[in-house]
């Protein structure tokens, strides 16, 4: 069982955030405070790399939706990258992929902001 | 998987009892135990993921709402605890999640439709719709002696 971890680096104006472990109601406040800190710095273009994400619950999904909404209000967005198949099937079934953009490669995800 | 000392697990052929402290740090263990059992009784990986998520949502609600520090359970001088009673009956997996925290008016709770919530990009309110979407039966009961019990059923094969 992996401990939840958040790694962050910049790709030009885009913030690449790598999530490791499980994003549930216990761990999501940590992501929330990290994203709030980025928003306070005016960084609204976010890519969340989910390749090492084991699980996401509704608290995590709801938070992502809320942050994507705030980011869009500032001409940015929150987009997902490398979503594991098991998680993708669940979020697709629930309809979250209709609201959140999902990308397969880092170039595609980061480039999608420049293409705007 | 090695469990922390304060997770108690009792297993027989068709029954599993888990008792954990009512704290969010135990949710990952609950998901793993329930997922393993669901896999063992024959659910495919897609259904296992749904069962894990439904149980996680239910237990998260217990931690967040039933055992919220501002609710009256604090006065009862009892440590918050989650008890899961899981059994196989024929082709049904029955999961009962019990707590002794604040009761919830489940019958009269009318969550917004998920589609509407998503369209408006609301940050919360998805837990109960997810449980109802992913399980075949979801019922909640509450009484002063036994506490609050959420009963969820998943059919291995649809009747």
The number of folded domains in chain B is: 1
Interchain proximity B124–A59, CB inside 8 Å: yes
Average pLDDT over residues B37-49: 95
- Measure in Å the smallest separation between the Cα of B151 and chain A Cα atoms: 19
Residue B109: name the closest of B85, B142, B87, B75 by CA.
Answer: B142
Tokens of A106: 């880092």
Indicate the range of A17-21, A22-26, A33-37, B103-107 predicted with least confidence: B103-107
The boundaries of the domain holding residue B25 are 8-155
Tokens of B20: 């954990």
* CATH at residue B119: 3.30.565.10
Provide the residue ranges of all domains of chain A, joining segments of one domain with +.
Answer: 5-114
Interchain proximity B118–A95, CB inside 8 Å: yes
Q: Give contacts of B27 with chain A, Cβ < 8 Å.
A: 24-26, 57
pLDDT digits (tens, 9 = 90+) for A55-98: 999 999 999 999 999 999 999 999 999 999 999 999 999 999 99
Say whether pLDDT at A115 is over 70.
Answer: no
Q: Could you give the angle at which helices B127-134 and B45-61 cross, rounded to 10 degrees?
A: 140
| Ordered alpha helix ranges (H), B21-74 | 27-40, 45-61
**SS3 state at B37:** helix
The burial class, CB within 10 Å (0-12 / 13-18 / 19+), for A12 is exposed
pLDDT digits (tens, 9 = 90+) for B4-31: 999 999 998 889 999 999 999 999 999 9
Judge whether B1 lies within some domain.
no
* β-sheet bridge partners, residue A102: A80
What's phi and psi for B152, nearest 5 deg? Answer: -125, 140
| Test the A interface: residue of B118, B133, B134 with most A CBs within 10 Å | B118
Judge whether B20 lies within some domain.
yes
- Measure in Å the smallest separation between the Cα of A40 and chain B Cα atoms: 19
Label the pairing between strands A5-11 and A14-23.
antiparallel
Judge whether B82 lies within some domain.
yes
Q: Cα separation of A5 and A52, whole Å? A: 10
Contact B104, B90 (CB under 8 A): no
| Test the B interface: residue of A24, A53, A100 with most B CBs within 10 Å | A24
Interchain proximity B45–A86, CB inside 8 Å: yes
Of B57, B114, B121, Cβ closest to residue A68: B121
Judge whether B108 lies within some domain.
yes
- Predicted ipTM? 0.93
Contact B26, B82 (CB under 8 A): yes
Q: Cα separation of A72 and B118, whole Å? A: 15
Where are the extended beta strands (E) located within chain A? 5-11, 14-23, 45-56, 77-81, 102-103
CATH number 3.20.20.70 is the correct assignment for the domain at A5-114: no
Contact A37, A2 (CB under 8 A): no
Q: Give contacts of B28 with chain A, Cβ < 8 Å.
A: 1, 22, 24, 26, 55
């Amino acid at each position: 069982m992996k401990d939840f971890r958040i790694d962050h680096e910049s790709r030009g104006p885009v913030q690449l955030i790598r999530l490791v472990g499980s994003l549930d109601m216990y761990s999501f406040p940590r992501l929330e405070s990290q994203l709030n800190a980025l928003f306070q710095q005016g960084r609204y273009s976010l890519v969340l790399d989910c390749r090492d994400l084991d699980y996401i619950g509704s608290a995590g999904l709801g938070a992502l939706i809320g942050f994507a909404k705030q980011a869009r209000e500032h001409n940015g967005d929150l987009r997902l990258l490398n979503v594991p198949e098991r998680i993708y099937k669940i979020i697709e079934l629930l309809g979250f992929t209709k609201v959140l953009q999902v990308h397969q490669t880092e170039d595609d995800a980061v480039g999608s902001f420049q293409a705007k | 998987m090695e469990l922390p000392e304060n997770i108690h697990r009792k297993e027989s052929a068709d029954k599993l009892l888990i008792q954990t402290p009512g704290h969010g740090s135990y949710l990952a263990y609950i998901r793993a135990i329930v997922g393993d059992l669901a896999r063992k009784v024959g659910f495919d990986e897609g259904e296992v993921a749904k069962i894990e998520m439904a149980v996680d949502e239910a237990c998260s609600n217990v931690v967040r709402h039933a055992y919220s520090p501002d609710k009256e359970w604090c006065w009862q001088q009892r440590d918050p605890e989650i008890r899961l009673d899981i059994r196989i009956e024929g082709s049904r997996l029955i999961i009962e999640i019990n707590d002794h925290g604040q009761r919830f008016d489940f019958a009269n709770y009318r969550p917004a439709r998920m589609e509407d919530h998503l369209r408006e990009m609301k940050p919360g309110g998805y837990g109960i719709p997810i449980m109802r979407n992913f399980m075949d039966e979801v019922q909640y009961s509450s009484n002063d002696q036994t506490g609050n019990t959420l009963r969820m059923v998943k059919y291995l094969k649809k009747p």
